[in-house]
A = this chain, B = another copy of it.
Amino acid sequence: MRVLGVDPGLTRCGVGVVEGVPGRPCTLVAYYVVYTDPGDDLPLRLLHLDRSLTDLVAEHRPDAVAVERVFSQHNVRTVMGTAQASGIAVLAGARAGLPVQTYTPSEVKAAITGSGQADKAQMTTMVTRLLRLPEPPKPADAADALALAICHVWRGGTRSKLAAAADRARRGGAR
């Protein structure tokens, strides 16, 4: 299956496309970073992000889209823009009629390195190794997006039943 992963951000949004099947090494298809200018107005920035992601989905025709889930514990200064960017990313996949799955950073880290606490350098090293790249993805923002895509392939296109059940329980409790 081909998966397009998105590491959402308003100023820098990482996009990574990989192909593979669960339990085997994935193949790199492409990666990108979509930039928007912090000096521009918000509508223009969101529009540029929406068009870029929609174009990349149309170009690569993935079977699914995987987006990093944003938490409010993140950097408060940038979290609102990140949340808006993640909404645009999820929408870009949904509008193309594709299944869209969100993953927490720990889920991705655990899938790629075996530890939910892995740091950025470790993640980049593993993504480079797993995709058998001659050198780390540049810019580095793309590595997280590639990790998301690999994570989704390895999960066989679904989050673990345990994670999904925990999520349902959490949502149920919060309602």
Contacts and interface: CB of A to CB of B under 8 A. Distances in A.
A43 interface: yes
Contacts of A80: 70-72, 83
Contact of A100 (B38, B43, B175): B43
B174 A91 contact: no
A124 interface: no
A94 B38 contact: no
Contacts of A94: 43-44, 46-47
A86 to B, nearest CB: 6
Contacts of A44: 94
A9 to B, nearest CB: 12
Given A43-B93, A171-B38, A76 B84 contact: no
Interface string A71-112: 110001101100111111011011100011010000000000
Given A50-B95, A83-B87, A102 B42 contact: yes
